Amino acid sequence: MGDARAHIFISGLVQGVGYRYFAMRKANAYGISGFAKNLIDGRVEVVAEGSRSMVDQFISDLKAGPMAAHVTDVRIEWDNPTYEFKGFQGL
């Protein structure tokens, strides 16, 4: 169980470049639960729950993204974890 929840919105060239798969791979490596999904406006939305240090590292990876992506902005809203997720999914 984690002690942090981040609701993250990533802007830039982040759809159609494997960004959600990248997020899933990184989240699984860090033991983070939650999801990543494409939004109609071109952003990717990510909810991540886990230990604060792992979520912080995950966010650093999201800011870089996969090689084909170009991240221009990352917005983060912190909250208390809800423990509603089992693993991490790309929606």
Ranges of residues in the chain with a pLDDT under 50 are none
- pLDDT score for 1: 53
What's the mean per-residue pLDDT of the chain?
A: 95
Q: Considering the candidates 25, 28, 38, 43, report the single residue annotated as catalytic.
A: 38
Q: What is the pLDDT of residue 36?
A: 97
pLDDT at 91: 77
Annotated active-site residue 25? The verdict is no
SS3 category, 75:
strand
Burial classification of residue 41, based on how many CB atoms lie within 10 Å of its CB (0-12 exposed, 13-18 middle, 19 or more buried): exposed
Q: What is the pLDDT of residue 84?
A: 92
Look up residue 47 and give its two tokens. Answer: 């909810």
Cα–Cα distance, 9 to 13 (Å, whole number): 13
User: What's the pLDDT score for residue 2?
Assistant: 65
State the catalytic residue, choosing from 5, 20, 43, 80.
20
pLDDT score, position 11:
98
The CATH topology of domain 4-85 is: Alpha-Beta Plaits (3.30.70)
Q: Is 80 labeled as catalytic in the residue annotation?
A: no
* 8 A C-beta contact, residue 24 and residue 44: no
Query: Would you give the distance in Å from CA 77 to the centre of its chain?
Result: 12
